[in-house]
Amino acid sequence: MALLRFPPSLSASSPRLSSNPSHFLARNPLIGGKEVHGVAMAKGSGGAITGLVFSPFEELKLRPEVAMVPVEADKSLARFKYSDKCEAAVNEQINVEYNNSYIYHAMYAYFDRDNIALRGFAKFFKESSEEEREHAEKLMEYQNKRGGRVKLQSILMPVSEYDHSEKGDALYAMELSLALEKLTNEKLLHLHKVAEQCKDVELMNYIESEFLGEQVEAIKKISEFISQLRRVGPGHGVWHFDQVLLHGGGVHG
């Protein structure tokens, strides 16, 4: 155990001083009325030494799995109360977000074609692709923060054609995008439920604050796009909507 130990001489011979916290090095602490030698004491919370509420090193003596810092090179040091289930679920979500990014990138490539030429939609999907990749990276950072191990999985090739004879490609791609965002929302809620089952309050809060709200915003935004596209119709309508997307003319909030 790597706790700080005072040489026996120092603690045994030091007189019991006043309860002035600055002299903590010289105290012979009392725990449950019993004098304790040779163990470093944190400052007491109350005034008198007998009012001690928290004796961390005593607690640590009873909790070796917390006190002992792993020495194996491949073990995480920071990992604490982070279950394997949660770790795996986070890795899954990283893959989901990365897949979304790849799909949006394919949509960007489609609308950038010369015979499609909807540059506003191309720009929107290009930015969506970057945003999804940022989500994935955020989760990778979180995984490392909790002491889990990031495991990147394979990414399937996305669909590359988005033409639709009735709806038109722009509306069809937006409807696909909405379906994708709703599916991602479901997966985030599933991740949240796994965290709840593992009683991982911090992960639950992280998903709630950093992901769920943003997902709801995204779903609202794309739904509004679809409503507008349905209203203005294909042809001139879609082209105008595309112009607004391209130049950011207040189509969306």
DSSP calls for 200-246: -HHHHHHHIIIIIHHHHHHHHHHHHHHHHHHHH-TTHHHHHHHHHHH
| 135 known member of a binding site | yes
Q: Applying CB under 8 A, which of residues 48, 152, 179, 183 lies at the interface with a copy of itself?
A: 152
210 part of the interface to a copy of itself, by CB under 8 A: no
151 contacts 206 by C-beta, under 8 angstroms: no
Where does this chain touch a copy of itself (CB under 8 A) — which range of 81-89, 100-108, 205-213, 228-236? 100-108
| 186 known member of a binding site | no
**Across-strand partners of 34?**
31
Q: By C-beta, is 78 or 183 nearer to a copy of itself?
A: 78
| 181 known member of a binding site | yes
Q: How far is the CB of 28 from a copy of itself (least distance, A)?
A: 37
Q: Applying CB under 8 A, which of residues 154, 166, 236, 253 lies at the interface with a copy of itself?
A: 154
Q: Applying CB under 8 A, which of residues 163, 196, 208, 214 lies at the interface with a copy of itself?
A: 163
| 130 known member of a binding site | no
Residue 100: which residues within 8 A CB-CB, separation 6 or more? 132, 135, 180, 184
144 part of the interface to a copy of itself, by CB under 8 A: yes
Residue 49: which residues within 8 A CB-CB, separation 6 or more? 19, 27, 29, 30
Number of residues that bind a copy of itself (CB under 8 A): 39
114 part of the interface to a copy of itself, by CB under 8 A: yes
Euclidean distance between CA atoms 243 and 237, whole angstroms: 10
Structure token digits, residue 213: 């709200």
110 part of the interface to a copy of itself, by CB under 8 A: yes
55 contacts 31 by C-beta, under 8 angstroms: yes
| 132 known member of a binding site | yes
- State the residue for tokens 């040489």: 7
Chain contacts with a copy of itself (rule: CB under 8 A): 70, 73-79, 102, 105-106, 108-110, 112-115, 126, 133, 137, 140-141, 143-145, 147, 149-158, 160, 163
Residue set of the binding site for Fe cation: 97, 132, 135, 181, 215
